[in-house]
Amino acid sequence: MAERYFALPEDYAAPSYEEIVGGITETGIRFKGESVPWGIATEPTLLPDALGAELADLGPTLQNAFHLERVALTGGGKLAQQAEQFVRFSIPNYIPTDPRYIDKKSLRLMRPDIVITSERMGHGSKDWRISCGIAEVETRPAATFVYPALLEGYGISRAEYMQKWVEAFGDRPWVALYPEEWRLYAEELEAFSNDLIKHGGRSLGVHNLDRMTHTDVDEIPEDANAYLFGYLDVWARSGSLPLAQVIANRDRTVVFNPLHYYLETKASLVLFQQEWFLDELAKRYGNEHAERLHRWMIEGYVLNVEAPQDMNTGQMIADHNQWVLKRAGFSPEATESKGVIMPGDHQHPQVFTDTLRAGLSGNDGQWIAQRFQRSRVPQGFYHPDTREPDMFTGSMRISPLYLSVNRRQVAMLGVMSTVSFGSERAHGGSGKEVKPGMAVMAPVAFGNVPGVVYSAEK
């Protein structure tokens, strides 16, 4: 059984609005010029112990799945032939690092966003697995660095969280590098840097790579842990990709997460549910990992804009569901992923197909279609204007934070919850919406949930 966090102290009392906001802003973290991230939950989200244990076990499984994907995409042979259809890109030459280095530089950060429904919160379901699944796996999640301040705001110790980072880094200093496009996250990274030093770690600070020269990069010690905080398309737009590549290809510098295309494609969300992939995962790592990954993946298909005849429209029509469309690859010109596409009249398959193709129009290469999870969960929160307790029902996602130190060690650092209401984006939204509605973030604690029966059986 994997290790997990956090349980609420027995004497825990829900903090006031002022206490929560004070805990967050004392570190200097600000969100888009505001001191408060959207709405503030009145209490941490309480989920059952059984779910906490299952989420902890999910970390090593995701680690193994990503490693197998790397092997499939770079190792040649039959696996490569099977994987190729799932990972094609608009800009196919975006392979800025030697894929072999990932095995020796294995420090990695993962944050799956898991849609959780009202059934899973105990509204009639005896099995909390019924209507939830992984909607996303982020490998450069900004909110990871908000998390210790979030814990402090709710009166929960941040020491356990920071100690895991200190242990993972060892004697190596940490340095964060970001592109100009992501400058709004600089304060979060700086707050984390200060936290790291406060808890006994080493930090070289936070730097805008767009403003650095080759000479500046050469001054970063070879033994550093470098967090290149930006995806490949972001670095390409900023013009800093060559400098990022120099850092990533150093022999002794550990870069987390690796600058490599396989970690950045949403096609993984479809690849991870293919029967041949699960069979290979079971063969290499054990049946329990294949079964666990299968349980958590949301049904999805790869859609090829350039070859519409290859789309799985027949099966999608038969399923009578809404679908979320997400870009499978990336390009410097790419925009944010699309939200839910209303599929048209299921009684007329051509209407569905035409609607789907219209939604995928453009030159963005492959997309995936992921079955839309209808999630509506109540959440108590402090309204940011009135600062009074309120309640709304919205789409909830939970986000466990995993740090892999090596190929065999993965720690679950903690879990966040986000409830979004009125968002035009599917699966919980991210705060980037044109019309964001309301979103409420809170840390997750695990314990016994009164009156709710959760099954840990398969």
Same domain, 389 and 368: no
Same domain, 352 and 433: no
> What percentage of the chain carries pLDDT values higher than 70?
73
Condensed to tens digits (0 to 9), the pLDDT of residues 156-169 reads 888 888 998 998 88
434 lies in a domain? yes
| Helix (H) or strand (E) segment spanning residue 324 | strand 323-327
Does 91 have pLDDT greater than 50?
A: no
pLDDT computed for residue 152 by the predictor: 85
Same domain, 387 and 328: no
* Residue 105: partners with Cβ closer than 8 Å, 6 or more residues away: 253, 254, 255, 256, 258
Residue 346: which pLDDT band, with cuts at 50, 70 and 90?
low
What SS3 string covers 37-61? CCEEECCCEEEEHHHHHHHHHHHHH
pLDDT computed for residue 60 by the predictor: 93
Of the residues 372, 389, 420, the one at which a domain ends = 372
pLDDT computed for residue 453 by the predictor: 38
431/164: higher pLDDT: 164
Residue 90: which pLDDT band, with cuts at 50, 70 and 90?
very low
Does 389 have pLDDT greater than 50?
A: yes
Same domain, 246 and 390: yes
Which structural domain, as residue segments, surrounds residue 254? Answer: 17-267+375-447
Cα(153)–Cα(196) distance, rounded to whole angstroms? 18
Same domain, 330 and 200: no
86/172: higher pLDDT: 172
286 lies in a domain? no
Residue 124: which pLDDT band, with cuts at 50, 70 and 90?
very low
Same domain, 363 and 428: no
Across all residues in the chain, what is the average pLDDT? Answer: 77
328/158: higher pLDDT: 158
Same domain, 138 and 229: yes
Tokens read off for 388: 């009074």
Q: What is the pTM of this model?
A: 0.86
88 lies in a domain? yes
266/288: higher pLDDT: 288
Does 432 have pLDDT greater than 70?
A: no
Same domain, 162 and 256: yes
pLDDT computed for residue 340 by the predictor: 62
DSSP label of 352: H
pLDDT computed for residue 66 by the predictor: 86
Is the CB of residue 15 less than 8 Å from the CB of residue 156?
Answer: no
pLDDT computed for residue 88 by the predictor: 62
**Dihedrals phi, psi of 41, to nearest 5 degrees:** -65, 145
Sheet with 340-341: list strands edge to edge.
Answer: 300-304, 366-371, 323-327, 340-341
pLDDT computed for residue 37 by the predictor: 52
98 lies in a domain? yes
453 lies in a domain? no
Condensed to tens digits (0 to 9), the pLDDT of residues 127-155 reads 544 457 898 888 777 677 888 888 888 88
Does 435 have pLDDT greater than 60?
A: no
Of the residues 351, 372, 393, the one at which a domain ends = 372
DSSP label of 271: H
251 lies in a domain? yes
Same domain, 74 and 162: yes
316/275: higher pLDDT: 275
Same domain, 105 and 170: yes
Of the residues 372, 395, 420, the one at which a domain ends = 372
Condensed to tens digits (0 to 9), the pLDDT of residues 16-50 reads 988 888 877 766 665 544 545 567 889 888 887 87
What mean pLDDT do residues 309-328 have? 75
367 lies in a domain? yes
Same domain, 200 and 334: no
Domain count, the chain: 2
What mean pLDDT do residues 304-311 have? 67
178 lies in a domain? yes
353/159: higher pLDDT: 159
Residue 207: which pLDDT band, with cuts at 50, 70 and 90?
very high
pLDDT computed for residue 278 by the predictor: 97
What is the CATH number for 357?
3.30.1490
Same domain, 443 and 354: no
102/415: higher pLDDT: 415
